[in-house]
Amino acid sequence: MLARLSVFVLRRRRAVLTTVALLAVAGAVAGSSLLGELKGGGFDDPGSESARATAVLENVLGQGQPDLVLLVRAKAGVDDPAIATAGTALTRRLAGEQGVTNVTSYWTAGRLPRLRAADGRSALILASINGDSSAADKRVGTLLPRYQGTHGDLDVRAGGVAMVQHEINAQTKRDVAVGELIVLPLTLVALVLVFGSVVAALLPLAVAIVTMLLGLGLMGVLAATTDLSIFAANAVTFVGLGLAIDYSLLIVNRYREELEAGREHQAAIGTAMRTAGRTVVFSAIMVAVALSGLAAFPMLALRSMAYAGVATALLAAAASLVVLPALLALWGTRIARSRPSRRSAEAGFWHRSAMMVMRRPLPVATAAAVLLLLAGVPFLGIRLGYPDERTLPESAMSRQVATALRAGFSPGEQNALHVVAPRAAAGHEVIGSYAARLSRLPHVASVESSAGGFEQGRLVVPAGPAHRRFTAGGATYLSVVPAAGTSEENAMRLVRHLRTEPAPFPILVGGTAAQNHDSTAALAERLPISIGLVVIAMLTLLFLLTGSVLVPFLALLLSALSLTATFGALVWIFQEGHLSGVLGGFTVTGSTVATLPVTLFALAFGLAMDYQVFLLARIREEYDRTGSPTAAVAYGLERVGRIVTAAAVLISIVFLAFLFSEVTLMKAFGVGLPLAVLMDATVVRGALLPAVMRLGGRATWWAPRPLRRLHARFGLHENTGEAEPVKVAA
């Protein structure tokens, strides 16, 4: 099929390039409105108990989590009559805004002490924004210019969950734009150094641009029919750029090899397509399979990355197999090496390195494995959490407001957990008794309910007009305020206590801590399913690639080992705080974002398998040619070792763009992905792979007869079909 495709592209290269250019323009048009359609957040489980609690709270009780906090400061003090009048007016003005509900403030809620700072110069206005996180993000964007800043004697700053998410989204978009401006020139320079030719360097970038434009266009069409997270755009940009460059490097390198072997220009393109092109197809499928595992999770952000990653991997392969041969047909002779290498394969660095490793395979394999496992030791102390305002820089307004709340205010409803009873056929006495019991639980400061306010099992605020909001439509809810200084871990424990505490009616527990608890539980529940499906698919594809029963298991094991250093570094750096100053500074929270290991595993594992395919396909070709398992490894590494290393460096440059981000979560990707790729391309490919395959010998390539027949019919056979087998000494 690839041979026929190459013939078609070579005969109609100008028409092919014109068609692709038009499709890329159409993709740019379709993707131009993509950022406006993408949703922020997306890390919550929409089917969880906390999500159901939020639905009842909003749809039945007409209440909502206070996700917008206005911190109002006044030099004269918030109890000054003029300041009180202005604060009341500002509260009523916010209450009149469309899509904003449950607006209350220090001045309109009976001057509750928890809404007033200890110094008497600051007070709070709390509000809920209707709709999902995307609607809240857009609404905050329109409200900010009208409320933040100076209003007479009042100085107003915005915070709360909605504001944190709004600033994370805005900062991420800015960081991606800056990263692209830095990465593209650096990538071009690196490509020139790899190929020694500007024309050759421009070919992978052309393929990458086509891939990204088509990917963004496809996501634009998809966003019109389903919800997509903002992370879909990030996945298209960086995965598309990285894979398109990888695939272009592999094909161009094979094309140059064929030219140096004396083949004619078009014959060299055809051979590169039949050999390296098939490897690209398998590699794209492998990366797509690895990223598709994210679709097993219910979170919108992870599913969006799965959709975008799978589509982009396949588009990168398609662009490499269509655009690249057409460009090579036009300008290929200009990228041939001016001085073809006369050096024998045996004199090459990777051949000599592989032979040196295979002389002492057991010590080398042991040392490399121990090194990677030791690097992963910090991961054993991982503590999962969810991002808050501390993931933003200290200059972010929402972070400054959160800092002020922790320093000057007692715990308030903005941090509360909600115990929601959708059908509560009970009077105030029963509700009051239940609220009193909940107020005695560890880490609880107070409980508000329709029966009044309770602390330490005692009624401290009798039921009044302000407590009527806790009951409506046959439902009721209790607001459980955590004690000051409650850690994230203790907040999770409190969620479990609330759910197991006997209740007089069926309940649902919601609130930010409950959402984080449920999302972490969903990750843990779906992770075995995701990994299991990916492993089964990977083993099948690797068998079709190699024809071996053992090699697929070895490949998976080696790729998993290459990730140990990444996960260890994540905990050591971002959870424990090492190298913070070197990496531009970030706030250490003592926990790791729960979705980060899952996302990094999918991306890094997919890229590791990408390079596995490059190497194993060529090693298999050399094994078929030489009949020697030792020579196959040495020659295979020599043929593609340099190009795999170059690809690893280039894709690391792409992902290093995340280091320029001001958002700690994105900065973690900038460390984790390049580290995983470089470990895979050096320690694993340079030491572990040749050592393990030498220990396996011919048994490495064994398969029972039925499976050999299956591989002969459906497997990948990467050879030119022209060279006769030759015998090479082991």
Residues 403 and 505 in one domain: yes
pLDDT grade, residue 66 (50/70/90)? confident
Could you tell me which residues come within 8 angstroms of residue 425 by beta carbon, excluding any fewer than 6 positions away? Answer: 474, 505
62 within some domain = no
Residues 212 and 283 in one domain: yes
Q: What is the mean pLDDT of the chain?
A: 87
pLDDT grade, residue 363 (50/70/90)? very high
Q: Considering all CA atoms of the chain, what is the largest pairwise distance in Å, rounded to the nearest integer?
A: 97
Residue 720: its pLDDT value, please?
46
Last residue of a domain, one of 340, 366, 383: 340
Q: What CA–CA distance (Å, rounded) separates 533 from 415?
A: 38
pLDDT grade, residue 345 (50/70/90)? low
The total number of structural domains in the chain stands at 4
272 within some domain = yes
190 within some domain = no
Res 294 pLDDT > 60: yes
Q: What CA–CA distance (Å, rounded) separates 700 from 693?
A: 6
Residues 579 and 700 in one domain: yes
Residues 655 and 563 in one domain: yes
Higher model confidence: residue 414 or residue 360? 360
pLDDT grade, residue 64 (50/70/90)? confident
Residues 258 and 276 in one domain: yes
Q: What CA–CA distance (Å, rounded) separates 92 from 20?
A: 56
Residue 296: its pLDDT value, please?
92
CB-CB contact of 663 with 391 (8 Å): yes
27 within some domain = yes
Higher model confidence: residue 193 or residue 496? 496
| DSSP per-residue string spanning 496-536 | HHHHHS--SS--EEESHHHHHHHHHHHHHHHHHHHHHHHHH
| Structure token digits, residue 511 | 């609130």
254 within some domain = yes
Q: What CA–CA distance (Å, rounded) separates 384 from 590?
A: 9
Residues 285 and 382 in one domain: no
Domain range spanning residue 651? 343-393+524-717
From first CA to last CA, the distance across the chain in angstroms is 35
Q: What CA–CA distance (Å, rounded) separates 148 from 171?
A: 18
Q: What CA–CA distance (Å, rounded) separates 616 from 104?
A: 64
Residues 438 and 356 in one domain: no
Cα 253 off chain centre by: 31
569 within some domain = yes
Our separate counts of H helices and E strands in the chain read: 24, 14
In this predicted model, what pLDDT tens digit does every residue of 13-38 receive, in sequence order? 999 999 999 999 999 998 887 767 77
Last residue of a domain, one of 516, 541, 561: 516
Q: What is the Cβ-side half-sphere exposure of residue 277, based on CA atoms within 13 angstroms?
A: 23
CB-CB contact of 607 with 287 (8 Å): yes
Residues 586 and 547 in one domain: yes
Residues 436 and 373 in one domain: no
Q: What CA–CA distance (Å, rounded) separates 591 from 578?
A: 13
Last residue of a domain, one of 491, 516, 541: 516
What's the Cα-to-Cα distance from 35 to each of 42, 58, 96, 403, rounded to whole Å?
15, 28, 29, 30
Residues 562 and 660 in one domain: yes
pLDDT grade, residue 455 (50/70/90)? very high
pLDDT grade, residue 408 (50/70/90)? confident
Q: What CA–CA distance (Å, rounded) separates 514 from 222?
A: 31
CB-CB contact of 540 with 534 (8 Å): no
What CATH number did the domain enclosing 692 receive?
1.20.1640.10
In this predicted model, what pLDDT tens digit does every residue of 473-522 receive, in sequence order? 889 999 999 987 788 888 899 999 999 999 999 999 998 899 999 999 99
Residues 551 and 700 in one domain: yes
Point out the least confidently predicted range of 71-85, 390-404, 535-549, 716-730.
Answer: 716-730
Is the sign of the CA dihedral 371, 375, 378, 379 positive or negative? negative
Question: Which residues in 539-566 are b (16+ Cβ under 10 Å) and which e?
Answer: eebbbbbbbbbbbbebbbebbebbbbbb
pLDDT grade, residue 336 (50/70/90)? low
255 within some domain = yes
Q: What CA–CA distance (Å, rounded) separates 14 from 588?
A: 55
Higher model confidence: residue 466 or residue 435? 435
Res 344 pLDDT > 70: no
- pLDDT mean over 535-555: 90
**Residue 268 CB burial class (10 angstroms; 0-12, 13-18, ≥19):** buried
Share of the chain above pLDDT 90, in %: 44
Residues 502 and 534 in one domain: no
